[in-house]
């Protein structure tokens, strides 16, 4: 059953009045003038019209009228929690990032989300889940903005508006609200077959997690790490939940969508308030930084590909514990703003064309969503490192900057030397050679294989997981109106596996087509089927 109470004692453990928000014991206007009556407007006699001069009434109504801000264009539905990250020191050889040093503790805020549903949609729908972590490190904020699946639908960010337009509700009827059961979604993924890998993860039990606490997280892209000596490696980030990976059964997910659409956020907050703090271990797959940026034939710049853990084991580098619920959902969960460009010294980006687009998109959308360029001054977004920038003015400026010369070098505000900071401590862009090349709108040839890792995933599943995948494809495709779209998706399934294709085709009452590409020769990976596994020794 779903627990409906909060804590045995009533009060949520994380709740405390924000000193800035509620001071003193009397109700006041926003200017601090004490109020005598907030229930009656000022009128010309008890039955008369309301007077325009009633400033309290106008202030109260006006503020209410402007309470809503736009929901996120994607990942609108989410829940967040505070916690602490502790480094193991095991990454010292590959990165100079201070928050990973042994025993170092860093505050974190995590926001989990679905991708496609609106802010009020149900938690247990079949979808990818966001897993975004803000590390408030001494060296500046690090945002690891990941998902609960290790691959993404597209290889180039220029298609992001397209996949999202295809995945969001149809523009005419705004149906369905939050599921992959519709024509435009299947139209897109069957025409842009690079999306087939992410799609099979969605159709698997990973698409309906049991709890945020039982989800893995993945940075998806390959990052570049730099150590003290300036040596680099390529790396992929993984979060492993201490409770293991668990999913709902499809029928459970359906029932919960109706009986408790808040199931995941309730589960997260109830667990934390009961002291059952969720824990994840952060790990990295370390890969050599070679000029071709591939590993065992896998293009590390292709975000539709994984590196199997058998080839590059995930090495634990730290541990995160979520131990405090938000005090105010809007101030913290809604206003938090993540960005992949928020990097500490020792972690850098790569040329993954999806990652590169993301570097632009997040701040751009936040300029609208959070109304102007000063959202890093909102409490939840404030770094826990000293800030001394030359950004000035703008809407919602909270800082009172002293001095007259926001430029370097200057001779008025002690702004010499001209160097911005101590080079030893500062972020250093890794000097990566860019190949001599002409401008092209094209992808590398290595991005053309769209099926071998999908087949690897399918072959790695247990019999019951395969059964669930077949049922998911059949159900979701069954909702399409256009037969041609179902047929085209069956072609992709034929290229993944004949059994998968035949079973889904039978469920849809359609013939199973022949594959159009040779079936990939791959060895199943036990690490891909991890449902139910908990940390060794726990
Ligand atoms: C949220 C764009 C790919 C994970 C967002 C938002 C935008 C966006 C505009 C809303 C941000 C906000 O309002 O604060 C893009 C683009 C992508 C892309 C353009 C591809 C080019 C990805 C990938 C991942 C991901 C590959 C996972 C690795 C997330 C998460 C959030 C998010 C977790 C929610 C952050 C939060 O909780 O506030 N994305 N995204 N996105 N995206 Fe992406």
284-297 tens-digit pLDDT = 999 999 999 999 99
> What is the reported pLDDT for 16?
43
Supply angle C-alpha 435, 92, 538, rounded to 5: 115
> What is the reported pLDDT for 13?
37
Backbone φ and ψ for 217, nearest 5 degrees, come out as -130, 150
Measure the CA–CA gap between 155 and 352, rounded to whole angstroms. 8
Rounded to the nearest angstrom, the gap between the alpha carbon of residue 518 and the centroid of all alpha carbons in its chain is 35
Q: Which of 70, 74, 350 to mutate to test the pocket of ligand 1 (most atoms within 8 A of CB)?
A: 74
- Binding region: 72, 111, 160, 358, 362, 369
pLDDT at 180 over 90: no
Measure the CA–CA gap between 186 and 167, rounded to whole angstroms. 9
Model confidence over 198-239: pLDDT tens digits? 999 999 999 999 999 999 999 999 999 999 999 999 999 999
pLDDT at 419 over 80: no
Are 480 and 488 in contact by the 8 Å Cβ rule? The answer is no
Of all atoms in ligand 1, which is nearest to the CA of residue 337?
Answer: 14
pLDDT at 5 over 50: no
Measure the CA–CA gap between 117 and 5, rounded to whole angstroms. 26
* Catalytic status, residue 147: yes
Measure the CA–CA gap between 256 and 241, rounded to whole angstroms. 23
Q: Which of 144-158, 170-184, 347-361 has the lowest mean pLDDT?
A: 170-184
Q: How many Å lie between the centroid of ligand 1 and the Cα of residue 362?
A: 7
Q: How many Å lie between the centroid of ligand 1 and the Cα of residue 351?
A: 17
Among 75, 197, 221, 238, which one carries the catalytic annotation?
75
Of all atoms in ligand 1, which is nearest to the CA of residue 111?
Answer: 37
- How confident is residue 436, by pLDDT bands cut at 50, 70 and 90? confident
> What is the reported pLDDT for 527?
83
Are 107 and 82 in contact by the 8 Å Cβ rule? The answer is yes
- How confident is residue 426, by pLDDT bands cut at 50, 70 and 90? confident
Of all atoms in ligand 1, which is nearest to the CA of residue 218?
Answer: 28
Measure the CA–CA gap between 121 and 257, rounded to whole angstroms. 9
Measure the CA–CA gap between 116 and 304, rounded to whole angstroms. 19
Please tell me the residue having the least CA distance from ligand 1 atom 13. Answer: 72
Q: How many Å lie between the centroid of ligand 1 and the Cα of residue 439?
A: 27
3-state SS string for 464-524: HHHHHHHHHHHHHHHCCCCHHHHHHHHHHHHHHCHHHHHHHHHHHCCCCCCCCCCCCCCCC
Mean pLDDT value of segment 162-169 = 96
Query: Residue 392 half-sphere exposure, CB side, CA atoms within 13 Å?
Result: 8
Are 378 and 366 in contact by the 8 Å Cβ rule? The answer is no
Whole-number Cα distances in Å, 408 to 99, 390, 397:
29, 9, 22
Please tell me the residue having the least CA distance from ligand 1 atom 20. Answer: 157
Are 301 and 157 in contact by the 8 Å Cβ rule? The answer is no
Q: Answer left, alpha or beta for residue 396, where phi above 0 means left and psi between -120 and 50 means alpha.
A: left
Average per-residue pLDDT in the chain?
93
* Catalytic status, residue 75: yes
> What is the reported pLDDT for 421?
58
Burial per residue of 487-519, b for 16 or more beta-carbon CB atoms within 10 angstroms, e otherwise: bbbbbbbbbbbeebbbbbbeebeeebbebeeee
Higher pLDDT, 436 or 188: 188
CB-based contacts of 336, cutoff 8 Å, min separation 6: 80, 109, 111, 132, 134, 380, 381
244: number of Cβ within 10 Å: 17
Please tell me the residue having the least CA distance from ligand 1 atom 3. Answer: 358
Are 189 and 195 in contact by the 8 Å Cβ rule? The answer is yes
Backbone φ and ψ for 155, nearest 5 degrees, come out as -100, -15
Q: How many Å lie between the centroid of ligand 1 and the Cα of residue 154?
A: 13
Q: How many Å lie between the centroid of ligand 1 and the Cα of residue 15?
A: 28
Query: What is the complex's ipTM, to 2 decimals?
Result: 0.94
pTM of the entire predicted model: 0.94
Are 159 and 192 in contact by the 8 Å Cβ rule? The answer is yes
| Omega before residue 110 within 30° of 0, cis | no
Are 278 and 217 in contact by the 8 Å Cβ rule? The answer is no
Measure the CA–CA gap between 287 and 284, rounded to whole angstroms. 9
Please tell me the residue having the least CA distance from ligand 1 atom 15. Answer: 358
Measure the CA–CA gap between 219 and 348, rounded to whole angstroms. 13
pLDDT at 125 over 80: yes
Helices (H) and strands (E) in the chain, counts: 12, 12
Q: Which residues does a 6 A CB cutoff place in the pocket of ligand 1?
A: 72-75, 78, 111, 113, 130, 132, 145-147, 152, 157, 160, 220, 336-338, 354, 357-358, 361-362, 365-366, 369
> What is the reported pLDDT for 8?
36
- Binding region for heme: 72, 111, 160, 358, 362, 369
Backbone φ and ψ for 140, nearest 5 degrees, come out as 105, 160
Cα(first)–Cα(last) distance of the chain, in Å?
Answer: 26
Query: Residue 334 half-sphere exposure, CB side, CA atoms within 13 Å?
Result: 15
Model confidence over 446-498: pLDDT tens digits? 999 999 999 999 999 999 999 999 999 999 999 999 999 999 999 999 999 99
69: number of Cβ within 10 Å: 13
Task: Quote the crossing angle between the two packed helices 483-496 and 463-478, to the nearest 10°.
Answer: 160
Are 365 and 71 in contact by the 8 Å Cβ rule? The answer is no
Measure the CA–CA gap between 222 and 356, rounded to whole angstroms. 11
Q: How many Å lie between the centroid of ligand 1 and the Cα of residue 223?
A: 17
> What is the reported pLDDT for 280?
98
Classify 201 as helix, strand or coil: helix
pLDDT at 32 over 90: yes
């Amino acid at each position: 059953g779903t627990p409906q109470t909060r804590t045995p004692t009533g009060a949520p453990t994380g709740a405390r009045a924000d000193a800035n928000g509620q001071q003193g014991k009397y109700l006041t206007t926003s200017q601090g003038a004490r109020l005598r009556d907030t229930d009656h407007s000022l009128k010309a006699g008890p039955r008369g019209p309301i007077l325009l001069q009633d400033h309290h009434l106008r202030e109260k109504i006006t503020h209410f009228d402007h309470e809503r801000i736009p929901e996120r264009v994607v990942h609108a539905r989410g829940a967040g929690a505070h916690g602490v990250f502790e480094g193991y020191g095991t990454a010292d050889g590959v990165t100079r990032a201070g928050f990973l040093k042994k025993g170092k503790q860093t505050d974190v805020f995590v926001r989990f989300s679905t991708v496609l549903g609106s802010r009020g949609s149900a938690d247990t729908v079949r979808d990818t889940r966001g897993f975004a972590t803000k590390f408030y490190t001494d060296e500046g904020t690090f945002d690891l903005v990941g998902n609960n699946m290790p691959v993404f639908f597209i290889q180039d960010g220029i298609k992001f508006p397209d996949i999202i337009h295809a995945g969001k509700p149809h523009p005419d009827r705004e149906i369905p609200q939050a599921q992959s059961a519709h024509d435009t979604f299947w139209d897109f993924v069957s025409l842009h077959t690079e999306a087939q890998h992410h799609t099979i993860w969605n159709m698997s039990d990973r698409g309906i997690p049991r709890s945020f606490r039982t989800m893995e997280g993945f940075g998806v892209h390959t990052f570049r790490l730099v150590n003290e000596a300036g040596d680099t490696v390529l790396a992929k980030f993984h979060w492993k939940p201490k409770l293991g990976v668990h999913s709902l059964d499809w029928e459970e997910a359906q029932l919960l969508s109706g009986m408790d659409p808040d199931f995941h956020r309730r589960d997260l907050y109830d667990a934390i308030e009961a002291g059952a703090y969720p824990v994840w271990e952060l790990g990295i797959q370390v890969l050599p930084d070679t000029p071709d940026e591939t590993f065992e034939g896998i293009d590390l710049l292709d975000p539709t590909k994984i590196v199997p853990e058998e080839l590059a084991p995930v090495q634990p580098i730290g541990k995160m514990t979520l131990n405090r619920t938000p005090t105010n959902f809007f101030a913290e969960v809604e206003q938090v703003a993540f960005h992949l460009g928020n990097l500490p010294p020792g972690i850098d980006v790569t040329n993954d064309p999806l990652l590169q687009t993301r570097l632009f998109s997040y701040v751009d959308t936040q300029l609208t969503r959070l109304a102007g360029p000063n959202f890093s001054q909102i409490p939840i977004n404030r770094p826990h490192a000293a800030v001394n920038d030359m950004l000035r003015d703008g809407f919602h400026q909270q800082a009172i900057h002293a001095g007259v010369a926001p430029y370097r070098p200057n001779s008025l505000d002690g702004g010499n030397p001209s160097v911005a900071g101590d080079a030893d401590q500062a972020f250093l862009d890794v000097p990566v050679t860019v190949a001599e090349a002409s401008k092209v709108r094209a992808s590398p040839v290595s991005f053309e294989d769209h099926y071998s890792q999908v087949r690897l995933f399918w072959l790695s599943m247990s019999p019951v997981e395969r059964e669930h995948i077949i049922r998911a494809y059949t159900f979701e495709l069954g909702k399409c109106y256009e037969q041609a779209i179902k047929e085209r998706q069956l072609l992709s399934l034929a290229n993944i596996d004949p059994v998968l294709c035949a079973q889904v085709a039978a469920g849809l009452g359609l013939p199973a087509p022949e594959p159009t590409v040779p079936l990939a020769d791959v060895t199943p990976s036990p690490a891909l089927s991890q449902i139910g596994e908990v940390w060794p020794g726990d």
